[in-house]
Amino acid sequence: MESANQTASVTEFILLGLSAHLKLEKTFFVLILLTYLLILLGNGVLVLVTVSDSRLHTPMYFFLGNLSFLDICYTTSSVPLILDSFLTPRKTISFSGCAVQMFLSFAMGATECVLLGMMAFDRYVAICNPLRYPMVMSKAAYVPMAAGSWAAGSAAFMVQTSLAMRLPFCGDNVINHFTCEILAVLKLACADISINVISMGVTNVIFLGVPVLFILVSYIFILTTILRIPSAEGRKKAFSTCSAHLTVVVVFYGTILFMYGKPKSKDPLGADKQDLADKLISLFYGVLTPMLNPIIYSLRNKDVKAAVRNLVSEKHFTW
């Protein structure tokens, strides 16, 4: 009963964001707003063309449409809150709002990890077993694969969010972050969080480690198959079908490794600078990959470029 009362007493959290660096807030408001608009435009166009253009009704582009819609959902779960915090003197979020935002951002991130793995499998079958591709990657297979990615990511972080928000918060309610980042929220709990830490570790292994391993093994087989193709033109054509996905994987996991793998400063005098750097890296990580994904796929894919041109010409003709 005491824990329940303590938890109920916290009705909102205060998000620090860049409160200690007010001069940067207006600059970053403009940068993040422009980036967010580019994300909505780029990914929105990709979703539209993959749905409207019959030539893109294939497993690869179905997954691409899901990835683009996912990036829109992921950024929308946090960027409007961040933009509002840059303009509002008192940066607060309700207890329930914090739970919803935490769930959405992490569920979308976990779903993207699984979806990238599914896309790697699609490229593996297309290159290593092209004759069996229509049978293996039929609509009855790739639609449940995409749906399973969404369901798995949502279910896992529903559990994580529930475990986090059931903790008692009886003291400080100030989150040293732009959003309700789960590790920052857990630091505020006045109870043992060992179960949360263990479950987070298991979840990270499942949704980060397993997809990375799956993607790595898939591309080992893909590269082995490509190198066996006798003609240089054939090798180039085969590699071009998976180069965009490989680039997205490198950007996505590369930014994660950079953000969490870099060494922490041991100099107490540089703690403020370290804290600012961590926040900015986290901020740009949240918008970098969603912004780059449509650029990578449109620049390196003739089918997508042709579909976008057709869409633009049709709209122009209609007007």
Q: Show the domains of the chain with their CATH numbers.
A: 12-257+281-304 (1.20.1070.10)
User: Which is nearest to 113 in space by CA: 51, 157, 78?
Assistant: 157
- All residues at 6 or more sequence positions from 249 whose CB lies less than 8 Å from its CB, including other chains: 116, 120, 215
Number of other residues whose CB lies within 10 A of the CB of residue 87 = 10
Q: How confident is the model at residue 6 (pLDDT cuts 50, 70, 90)?
A: very low
Instruction: Supply the mean pLDDT for the chain.
Output: 83
138 is written with which tokens? Answer: 């039929």
Of 151-160, 190-199, 258-267, give the lowest mean pLDDT range.
258-267
**pLDDT at residue 136 greater than cutoff 70:** yes
**pLDDT at residue 202 greater than cutoff 80:** yes
Output the pLDDT for position 117. 94
- Comparison of pLDDT for 290 and 256, the residue scoring more: 290
Average of per-residue pLDDT across 185-214: 89
pLDDT digits 0-9 by tens, 31-68: 889 999 999 999 999 999 999 888 889 999 999 999 99
Instruction: Kindly report the pTM of this predicted structure.
Output: 0.86
* Residue 31 burial (10 A CB sphere; 0-12, 13-18, 19+): middle
**Using an 8 Å Cβ cutoff, are 13 and 180 in contact?**
yes
User: Which range, 26-30, 91-95, 132-136, has the best average confidence (pLDDT)?
Assistant: 132-136
Query: Could you give the CA distance from residue 49 to residue 63 in angstroms, rounded to a whole number?
Result: 13
**pLDDT at residue 316 greater than cutoff 70:** no
Average of per-residue pLDDT across 227-247: 87
Average of per-residue pLDDT across 207-220: 93
Output the pLDDT for position 280. 72
Q: How confident is the model at residue 275 (pLDDT cuts 50, 70, 90)?
A: low
Output the pLDDT for position 264. 55
- Comparison of pLDDT for 317 and 242, the residue scoring more: 242
Over pLDDT 90: what percentage of the chain? 34
**Using an 8 Å Cβ cutoff, are 60 and 126 in contact?**
yes
Query: Could you give the CA distance from residue 134 to residue 152 in angstroms, rounded to a whole number?
Result: 26
Pairing of strands 174-175, 12-15: parallel
